[in-house]
Homo-oligomer: A and B are copies of this chain.
Amino acid sequence: MSEYIEHDRNAISVGIVEKKYFTFADPPGEMVLESGAGLGPITLAYETYGSLNADKSNVVLIPHALSGDSHVAGYYQPEDKNPGWWDNMVGPGKGIDTDKYFVVCSNIIGSCMGSTGPNSINPKTGLPYALDFPVVTIGDMVQAQKALMDHLGIEKILSVVGGSIGGMQVLEWCVRYPEMVVSAIPLATTTRHSALAIAFNEVARQAIMADPKWNNGNYYSGPKPDLGLAVARMIGHITYLSDKSMRLKFGRRLQDKSDFSFNFDADFQVESYLRYQGRKFVDRFDANSFLYITKAADYYDLEKQHGNGSSVEAFSRTKARFLVVSFTSDWLYPTYQSRDMVKAMKKNGLDVSFCEIEADWGHDAFLIPNERLTTMIRGFLERVSHANE
């Protein structure tokens, strides 16, 4: 996603940050998952930005999306080329102002960026879990984050903020731990994955599983299913963009050519771009993690899990104030899905602001610098801070 953004290394930033680790659920005290399986020990990689105030009332928790990690802002090393994945929003004086708020972001379980996932060592075998890793849910990810909050001594969260799969975690926090969440900002997300979204995830998974190097998940000691994972990433990448953003960014421009190649090379810039995105992704992401996290997203169904099929009932115990944001060109989680959740929140008498932002960038719009989104989040956080004083 950062490929859209020209990073100015001298821009205001939280500066150098450190990835930390917290381990819990040591056997026999395993964490019980929604599936009924147990998982432990669990390590969460996390980062914090800004300072926790005396009454611990300034916590902003940011759950991340599919390929994200705990590194939401700043740099690990002075020489790092790119900052964290939401550096345009999180930092001193920014939309989520680290001079005011204590920001926490942890890598989700099932991922491969420092938290326990399928590429972690299974203590029972001494080998990577691979497919012995249990299928985890959005609820399980949130349950693990709750353990981290307990560890940090945090009892109230001023705001949980996140987009896409991060937005699902935001909603899950509100219904699972209603006493803890003062406010919430679900961005470009849904209370339940649509058939279209499931379909794209399933095809991406099939692309990975069709790669013989995937080897039923057992590739950690041999060659990785890079080709399958690259195709999966390319599929995902298209769904994060939009017809218009692709037309503006690429159109039918050719790549380093004056005319068609009349072979199966990449003729068009959009082809080269997707191939590059696929290649780049396999260097940093684990194919099994892609399977687990997309499955968690597909399983996500707030109504089913918390409301006996009713979104109104699902939000009935929630006390949070909400800022719900969708984007006009997001066809993965279209605005009508945000409107549906807003309706259900309002039927519960909740304090909800809703905004559909006019943006061409498709689903990824929530990650792209956007003055309107920044202003809205800043204003909402100020309002809930004051109300919370």
A196/B262 contact (C-beta < 8 A), A203-B235, A210-B227 known: no
> How far apart sit A210 and B225, CA to CA, in the bound complex (Å)?
10
Binding stretch for chain B, among A9-17, A249-257, A366-374 = A249-257
A252-B134 contact in complex given A37-B262, A203-B234, A210-B211, C-beta closer than 8 Å: no
A247 in the interface (beta carbon within 8 A) = yes
Cross-chain contact B210 with A252 (CB below 8 angstroms): no
> Which residues of B have CB within 8 Å of A179?
none
A37, B262: Cα distance in complex, Å: 10
A206-B278, A275-B206 in contact; A198/B252 too (CB < 8 A)?
Answer: yes
Contact-residue size bin, chain A (C-beta under 8 Å from the other chain): 35 or more
Contact A274 B209 (CB under 8 A): no
Interface flag for A271 (CB, 8 Å): yes
Given the interface contacts A35-B262, A210-B228, does A271 sit within 8 Å of B202 by beta carbon?
yes
Asked whether any CB of chain B lies closer than 8 Å to the CB of A231, the reply is yes
Chain B nearest CB: distance from A140 CB in Å? 11
> Which B residues touch A250, using CB under 8 A?
195
A181-195 residues with Cβ-Cβ distance < 8 A to B are 192-195
| Binary CB contact string for chain A from 213 to 231 against chain B (1 if under 8 A, 0 otherwise) | 0000000000000011011
Interface centre among A193, A231, A275 (most CB of B within 10 A): A231
| Docked pose: A203 CA to B238 CA in angstroms | 9
Does A266 make an interface contact (CB < 8 A)? yes
